[in-house]
Amino acid sequence: MNKQETQIYRVLIADDHAMILEMFEHYLGNIQDVSIDTAPDLDAAISKIDAEEGFDLVLVDLNMPGMNGLSGLGKAIEHNNGKPVGILTSNPAPHIVTEILALGGAGVVLKTAALKNLANEIRFMASGGRYIPVELIERQQKMRERTDTPLSEREMTVLALLAEGKSNREIGASLSLAEPTVKMHVKSICTKLEANNRTQAVVVARNQNII
């Protein structure tokens, strides 16, 4: 019986910090079943994805040039021929994690985490799994336990972006929603929180520890 060939996972990591890329390259370069390529921004990543006709896994930095919030994740997913795309970040807000999964992301890799588990995280996502670090899951659970809110998860996400001062258009771009849909969510948030406008809704939400 012939030995089965070892699966080689082709991975692209995009980040605008050279030291981050060097760190990942150095570590993953010693992993036999991982082949790594890198890019300094989203445009360069998209070019490499197209040239290679997709990677087994693409990891894109949440805050690098070209990302425009999570719209860059959607763009990378669109170009990667149905193969997994995840987010690389440091300390994402709970609503960001929810939206990554809602948009079809493969999960989240924390830059602040120890590298010892990185290869297994890559294999898991490249094989179709959806990976969220335990600490992020625990953080979301604590928020749910602490917060009794009438808002839906989508409304919570919109509210969090309102609290960041984003306009309806910017929220729509971040969440891949039409502007009228965002307006509908904002109206619902105001109604449920008994607020007269978006600014007051944010104040009420903060007073009630919703955000």
CATH code where residue 30 lies: 3.40.50.2300
SS3 for 12?
strand
User: Do 104 and 157 reside in the same domain of the chain?
Assistant: no
pLDDT computed for residue 2 by the predictor: 46
Cβ atoms < 10 Å from Cβ of 28: 19
How confident is the model at residue 166, as a pLDDT? 87
Could you tell me the sign of the dihedral formed by the alpha carbons of 127, 136, 166, 150, in that order?
positive
Question: In the prediction, which pLDDT does 62 show?
Answer: 92
Residue-level pLDDT at 26: 92
pLDDT reported for residue 1: 40
**Domain limits for position 178:** 147-207
Residue 191 has a pLDDT of: 92
Residue where a domain terminates, one of 121, 139, 157: 139
pLDDT at position 94, please? 75
Give a yes or no: residue 2 inside a domain: no
Backbone dihedral region of 81: left (phi > 0), alpha (psi from -120 to 50 degrees) or beta? left
Whole-structure pTM value: 0.70
Residue 33 half-sphere exposure toward CB, CA atoms < 13 A: 13
Q: What is the distance between the alpha carbons of residues 16 and 48, in angstroms, rounded to a whole number?
A: 15
pLDDT in tens, the chain (211 residues): 444 567 899 999 999 999 999 999 999 989 999 999 999 999 999 999 999 999 999 999 999 999 988 889 999 999 999 999 999 998 887 778 888 888 899 999 999 888 889 999 999 999 999 999 888 877 766 666 555 678 888 888 898 889 888 899 988 888 888 999 999 999 999 999 888 999 999 888 877 777 7
Say whether both 14 and 111 belong to one domain. yes
- Are 131 and 32 part of one and the same domain? yes
79 plus 168 within the same structural domain: no
Give the per-residue pLDDT at 144. 60
107 shares its domain with 42: yes
Statement to judge: residues 163 and 135 lie in one domain: no
- Quick one: 38 and 130 in the same domain? yes
pLDDT at 146: 55
pLDDT of residue 210: 76
The Cα 118–Cα 21 span in angstroms is 14
